[in-house]
């Protein structure tokens, strides 16, 4: 299942902008009515204006509902990511309110036009049109908080990454300020913010590197603190969503240096919690910032890297590729569809005269179809 392209979510207008757009379009409809009879002309003008305002409001609202992704149709990762970023329940409730308003506005237009058919004088037409406008404005006012929520949520969701489930994926996790973002920068095309203070990464970042025509995705997660799940904030829950739902392999970084603001004991306890989230997916333990500490007895088997000096970076990349084994193909005729195949045209050997002579000879020697005999009558 493909991940959502969050950047395609349409712009959300402010409530008053929705009304201004609707009434502006409606006012133009009165100029399109031509009828010599004043009574019929005014009735048609008012009915058209009410219908145009209703259509504009309903179409604007329903466009948001249609263009925003349905959570039930998304992957477990995208659902968890939305829940961590803006709240899945709030997502559904606010879109539901928008859809209700669109249907209510259309009902108002129908009721108003039905009343207009019963009027016998001109004055009630204008009053009914104003009354319908007022009812539509009231509906928009009722969902103004929902519209404002959509605008804020859109800005948040547009920053979420899209992860291709068909390509290999590596999730990088660990406590704050252990070097996750620096590692992503060294290994891939990702450019997350890197600083010397903790909690620099406030959302998921995705970088990429290629190996044998496959694109490897590297997900940089916000730092996790060693605390109960109920105490984690929205930023941490994005990291949890990635750990629970995506990744062919997880890189867990520990900073064992004395300069680390989080003790090694707390980092190792956090490692135990992360292992419980991974089910059966492999985890590679990495000691970062090797330029700041010496190897400790008992850590001989642990991978050591330094994004500052480059120590262990190439070896780690090779180990990741080997662990995922995404480029191993048992049947060369069944390569993934995403693999690029270069078609090379084979040029004939020899001079133009020799090539032409071979073609003519092949034509002369090629078998000719037998002609069937006609039945004699």
Whether residues 112 and 147 share a domain: the answer is yes
Rounded Cα distance, 365 and 32, in Å: 77
Across 30-34, 158-162, 289-293, 365-369, least confident range: 365-369
**The token pair that represents 284 in the structure block:** 């590679």
pLDDT single digits (tens) 256-289: 887 888 898 999 999 998 888 887 789 999 999 8
Rounded Cα distance, 201 and 218, in Å: 14
**CA nearest to 43, candidates 118, 111, 148:** 118
Q: What is the dihedral of CA 107, 27, 64, 13, to 10 degrees?
A: -130
User: What is the span of the domain harbouring residue 293?
Assistant: 169-324
Q: How confident is the model at residue 191 (pLDDT cuts 50, 70, 90)?
A: low
| Residue-level pLDDT at 336 | 59
Rounded Cα distance, 109 and 111, in Å: 5
Average pLDDT in the chain:
84
Whether residues 284 and 144 share a domain: the answer is no
Rounded Cα distance, 63 and 169, in Å: 33
The average pLDDT across 137-146 equals: 97
Rounded Cα distance, 339 and 69, in Å: 28
Whether residues 176 and 222 share a domain: the answer is yes
| Residue-level pLDDT at 1 | 46
Inside any domain, residue 86? yes
Whether residues 27 and 134 share a domain: the answer is yes
* 211-216 contact pairs (CB < 8 A, 24+): 211/321, 211/327, 212/327, 213/327, 213/339, 213/340, 214/167, 214/168, 214/326, 214/327, 214/338, 214/339, 215/164, 215/167, 215/168, 216/167, 216/168, 216/169, 216/170, 216/188, 216/320, 216/321, 216/324, 216/326
Whether residues 113 and 191 share a domain: the answer is no
Inside any domain, residue 373? no
- DSSP character for 82? H
**Where do the DSSP E strands lie in 212-282?**
214-220, 249-254
Whether residues 42 and 91 share a domain: the answer is yes
Rounded Cα distance, 37 and 44, in Å: 11
Structural domains of the chain, count: 2
Pick the last residue of a domain from 278, 298, 324.
324
Whether residues 177 and 137 share a domain: the answer is no
Whether residues 178 and 202 share a domain: the answer is yes
Inside any domain, residue 258? yes
Q: How confident is the model at residue 368 (pLDDT cuts 50, 70, 90)?
A: low
Place of tokens 């092949």: 362
- DSSP character for 311? T
Pick the last residue of a domain from 157, 191, 226.
157
- DSSP character for 86? T
Query: What CATH number should be reported for the domain holding residue 244?
Result: 3.40.50.300
Q: Of the spans 12-21, 290-299, 319-328, 357-366, which averages the highest pLDDT?
A: 12-21
| Residue-level pLDDT at 172 | 92
Whether residues 118 and 197 share a domain: the answer is no
Pick the last residue of a domain from 157, 183, 204.
157
Q: What is the Cα gyration radius of the chain?
A: 33
Whether residues 153 and 173 share a domain: the answer is no
Q: Is the pLDDT of residue 375 over 70?
A: no
| Residue-level pLDDT at 249 | 92
Whether residues 125 and 202 share a domain: the answer is no
Q: Is the pLDDT of residue 74 over 70?
A: yes
Element (H, E) at 38: helix 38-67
Q: Is the pLDDT of residue 200 over 50?
A: no
Rounded Cα distance, 78 and 350, in Å: 59
DSSP string for residues in 89-154: HHHHHHHHHHHHHHHHHHHHHHHHHHHHTT--SSHHHHHHHHHHHHHHHHHHHHTHHHHHHHHHHH
Inside any domain, residue 300? yes
106 Cβ contact partners less than 8 Å away, ≥ 6 residues apart: 54, 58
Whether residues 117 and 212 share a domain: the answer is no
Inside any domain, residue 355? no
Inside any domain, residue 162? no
DSSP string for residues in 259-283: T-SS-HHHHHHHHHHHHHHSTT--E
Q: How confident is the model at residue 334 (pLDDT cuts 50, 70, 90)?
A: low
Dmax over Cα atoms in the chain, in whole Å?
108
Inside any domain, residue 357? no
**Global model pTM greater than 0.85:** no
- 275 by Cβ neighbours in 10 Å (0-12 / 13-18 / 19+) ranks as middle
Burial 45-67 (b: 16+ CB within 10 A, else e): bbbbbbbbbbbbbbebbbebeee
Strand partners, 287: 254, 304
pLDDT single digits (tens) 115-136: 999 999 999 999 999 999 999 9
| Residue-level pLDDT at 147 | 97
Query: What CATH number should be reported for the domain holding residue 38?
Result: 1.20.120.1190
Element (H, E) at 313: helix 313-324
Higher pLDDT, 78 or 137: 137
Inside any domain, residue 356? no
């Amino acid at each position: 299942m493909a991940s959502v392209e969050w950047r395609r979510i349409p712009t959300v207008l402010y409530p008053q902008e929705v009304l201004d757009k609707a009434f502006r379009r409606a006012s133009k409809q009165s100029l399109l009515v031509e009828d010599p009879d004043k009574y019929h002309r005014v009735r048609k003008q008012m009915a058209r204006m009410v219908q145009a305002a209703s259509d504009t409001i309903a179409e604007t609202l329903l466009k948001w509902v249609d263009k925003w992704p349905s959570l039930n149709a998304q992957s477990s990762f995208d659902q968890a990511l939305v829940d961590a970023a803006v709240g899945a329940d709030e997502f559904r409730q606010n879109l539901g309110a928008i859809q209700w308003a669109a249907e209510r506005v259309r009902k108002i237009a129908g009721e108003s036009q039905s009343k207009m058919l019963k009027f016998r004088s001109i004055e009630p037409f204008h009053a009914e049109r104003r009354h319908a406008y007022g009812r539509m404005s009231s509906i928009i006012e009722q969902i103004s908080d929902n519209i404002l929520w959509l605008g804020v949520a859109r800005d948040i969701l547009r920053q979420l990454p899209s992860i291709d489930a068909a390509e290999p994926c590596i999730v990088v996790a660990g406590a704050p300020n252990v070097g996750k973002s620096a590692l992503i920068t060294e290994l891939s095309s990702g450019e997350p913010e890197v600083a010397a203070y903790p909690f620099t990464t406030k959302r998921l970042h995705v970088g990429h590197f290629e190996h044998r025509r496959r694109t490897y995705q590297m997900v940089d997660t916000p730092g996790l603190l060693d605390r109960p799940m109920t105490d984690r904030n929205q930023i941490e829950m994005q990291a949890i969503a990635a750990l629970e739902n995506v990744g062919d392999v997880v890189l867990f970084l520990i900073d064992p240096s004395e300069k680390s603001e989080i003790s090694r004991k707390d980092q190792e306890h956090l490692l135990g919690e992360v292992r419980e989230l991974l089910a059966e997916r492999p985890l590679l333990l990495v000691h970062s910032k090797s330029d700041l500490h010496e190897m400790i007895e008992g850590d001989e088997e642990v991978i050591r890297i330094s994004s500052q000096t480059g120590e262990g970076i190439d070896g780690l990349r090779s180990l990741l590729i080997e662990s995922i084994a995404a480029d191993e193909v048992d049947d060369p005729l069944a390569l993934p569809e995403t693999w690029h195949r270069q078609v090379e045209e084979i040029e004939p050997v020899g001079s133009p005269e020799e090539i032409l002579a071979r073609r003519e000879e092949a034509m002369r020697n090629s078998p000719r179809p037998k002609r069937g005999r006609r039945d004699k009558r």
